[in-house]
Amino acid sequence: MTPAAATALCLNEDNSHFFFTRAGREPTEDLVDRWVDQYAGTQVRELLLSPNSMRTSYASGAWDPIWRGYDPAGPDDQPLLASLPPAARAGARGWIHTAWALDRAGIDVYERWIRRARGHGLSPWLSVRMNDVHNADDERCYIHGELWRSRPDLRRVGYRFDRWTDRAFDYARSEVREHHLALIHELLERYDPDGIELDWMRFAFHFRPGFESEGVDILSRFTAEVRRAVDAAGARRGHRVGLWARVPSRPQTSLGLGMDAAGWARSGLVDGLVVTPFWASVETDMPIETWRGLLEGTPVLLCAGLEVLIRPDPATPPLFNSLQTVRGAAAAFLDRGVDRVYLFNYMDSQATLADAADYPALLREAGSLETLAGKPRRHVVTFADTWAPGEPRAALLPAACAAGEWKEFRLHVGPVPAAPAARVVLCVTGDALPDLYLNGERCPAIGTVDLADPHLETPATAWSIPAGVLKRGANLVETRATEPIVIRWVEISLG
């Protein structure tokens, strides 16, 4: 990995955010161009533009555009929007109407974004959502495509509805694969991107329960077909067209869901892998070293996907990352050997940092250890949110401790300054604080401290870290309860 490769961010723009947030504005080329302009001169190298969920946000001939069935002169309760709660209709209409109005004005948003990005030295990609099932509990929702509505037999689970992914497409069905290949072929004919990303994490479950192992060969053959398509597009366009895949954070989970990501890399089918959680939280301890070992000897780029939320456990209400917690995750992953930090749901409004004013700093800092050096950062224990069916699930928190019981927490902190102002912070419920050790050395308690966002309602207590104890890379926090307690939050903060 060259230093230049590490100094970079990837940023994913979803298929709806721009249209939602620009609703009510005049549909002009300048409006479209200015979205790209904000990323010029930042550490963003690849802009990954998502044109679809079940419908497209452009005038597709292969799939239903988002405005199919829309009456621009009709009321908010028109048939396309009628299944939504009344309070949600105006917002949904903002997406639909803005995309429709731009198309009617003769403005192809994705064509302009691709051209504008290249003009700024950015690399434009198209990120294809391979199985998006947002709002699958509402069969009539405006975002659903006609194939999904009319062919429930193509869904992966027919005997229950427990979660959205039960109604995801089953990729064992040839109609499903052909449907998605048709979109990819159209995108490659219509647009001139630097690459296509197959976003298998929208929504990660692609086969009938119990048939994931059979799915491995199916998705590998599908990926090979897409590889042939991007290579043919590159030959037509006169430049290489790359192929990336966004997959679960752990290799065994990826394989257990039918995605042989490491095999795709070793076979030369993909040029990059984005390893990532799904949505519920940034995952601060993804097994980067394992992925690097699996990719050894290949030129495949390894990207660490950062979600915008941060939570210590699945039951905690959603919290947004701050600039400091993103710095922590980014520094650790860059130090562990990733080639890119990949920002998902870090858009310029709505879904963004806890303090939106920090967004410009995020874009200029988070892609390089050099620009992160010396800045305050927080390293927080989180959890993995995606598991293959039947795979044991693990979360370190909350940790209930009986009197005398020890608990252990590992945190990767990346490079450590020569004289760090560092502390361990816990949120604990109970009558007594635990004894705390870092890397085998006892840490003295400082007392109650105020945490900036993100934080829990539970009071936070800090312990100081003696000089020379904190080390680069992985650090082990050990606690021993003197009375029964529950540990709900664990972090190491620097600066």
Residues 157-204: pLDDT tens digits? 999 999 999 999 999 999 999 999 999 999 999 999 999 999 999 999
Say whether both 167 and 230 belong to one domain: yes
Secondary structure of 134-174 in HEC code, one letter for each residue: CCCCCCCCCCCCHHHHHCHHHECCCCCCCCHHHHCECCCCH
Question: What is the CB neighbour count within 10 angstroms for residue 53?
Answer: 22
pLDDT-based confidence at 352, cuts 50/70/90? confident
Residue 7 has pLDDT above 80, yes or no: no
Side-by-side strand order, sheet with 474-480? 406-412, 474-480, 435-438, 441-442
Say whether both 323 and 417 belong to one domain: no
Long-range contacts of 36-40 (CB under 8 A, 24+ apart): 36/113, 36/116, 36/117, 36/120, 36/122, 37/116, 37/120, 38/348, 39/11, 39/117, 39/120, 39/122, 39/363, 40/120, 40/121, 40/122
For residue 416, is it within any domain?
A: yes
Residue 267 has pLDDT above 60, yes or no: yes
For residue 322, is it within any domain?
A: yes
d(CA 221, CA 232): 17
What's the mean pLDDT in 311-332? 98
For residue 485, is it within any domain?
A: yes
Q: How far apart are the first and last CA of the chain?
A: 28
Look up the pTM and report it: 0.97
- Least Cα distance to 438 among 473, 482, 396, 469 occurs for 469
Write down which residue in 330, 360, 375 finishes a domain: 375
For residue 189, is it within any domain?
A: yes
What's the mean pLDDT in 412-425? 93
Say whether both 432 and 344 belong to one domain: no
pLDDT at 320: 97
Say whether both 250 and 333 belong to one domain: yes
Dig out the tokens for 135 from the structure.
């709002």
Say whether both 144 and 39 belong to one domain: yes
Q: 262: domain range?
A: 3-375
For residue 380, is it within any domain?
A: no
pLDDT-wise least confident of 89-93, 274-278, 351-355: 351-355
Contact between 257 and 206 under an 8 Å Cβ cutoff? The reply is yes
For residue 159, is it within any domain?
A: yes
Dig out the tokens for 475 from the structure.
């650090």
- Least Cα distance to 129 among 50, 226, 216, 206 occurs for 50
Contact between 465 and 424 under an 8 Å Cβ cutoff? The reply is yes
d(CA 225, CA 222): 5
In terms of pLDDT, which residue wins out, 196 or 421? 196
pLDDT at 247: 99
Could you say which DSSP state residue 265 is in?
A: H
What's the mean pLDDT in 120-138? 98
Number of domains in the chain: 2
Contact between 250 and 384 under an 8 Å Cβ cutoff? The reply is yes
d(CA 56, CA 63): 7
pLDDT at 419: 79
Residue 2 has pLDDT above 50, yes or no: no
Q: Give the β-pairing of 9-13 and 340-344.
A: parallel
pLDDT at 71: 98
CATH of the domain at 103: 3.20.20.80
Q: Give the β-pairing of 445-449 and 44-49.
A: unpaired
pLDDT at 177: 98
Contact between 286 and 250 under an 8 Å Cβ cutoff? The reply is yes
Query: What's the whole-number average pLDDT of the chain?
Result: 96
pLDDT at 4: 38
For residue 390, is it within any domain?
A: no
CATH of the domain at 404: 2.60.120.260
Say whether both 325 and 261 belong to one domain: yes
Residues 37-93: pLDDT tens digits? 999 999 999 999 999 999 999 999 999 999 999 999 999 999 999 999 999 999 999
Residue 6 has pLDDT above 60, yes or no: no
For residue 52, is it within any domain?
A: yes
Write down which residue in 313, 341, 375 finishes a domain: 375
pLDDT at 351: 76
Number of H helices, E strands in the chain: 14, 18
pLDDT at 1: 33
Q: How far is CA 466 from the centre of its chain?
A: 36
Cis peptide before 203 (omega within 30 of 0): yes
C-alpha torsion sign, points 390, 259, 53, 182: negative
Say whether both 24 and 120 belong to one domain: yes
Residues 211-248: pLDDT tens digits? 999 999 999 999 999 999 999 999 999 999 999 999 99
Say whether both 352 and 477 belong to one domain: no
Say whether both 356 and 407 belong to one domain: no
Tally of CA atoms within 13 A in the half-sphere of 302 that contains its CB: 28
> Where is 20: in which H helix or E strand?
helix 17-21
Secondary structure of 46-92 in HEC code, one letter for each residue: EEEECCECCCECCCCCCCCECCCCCCCCCCCCCCCCCCCCHHHHHHH
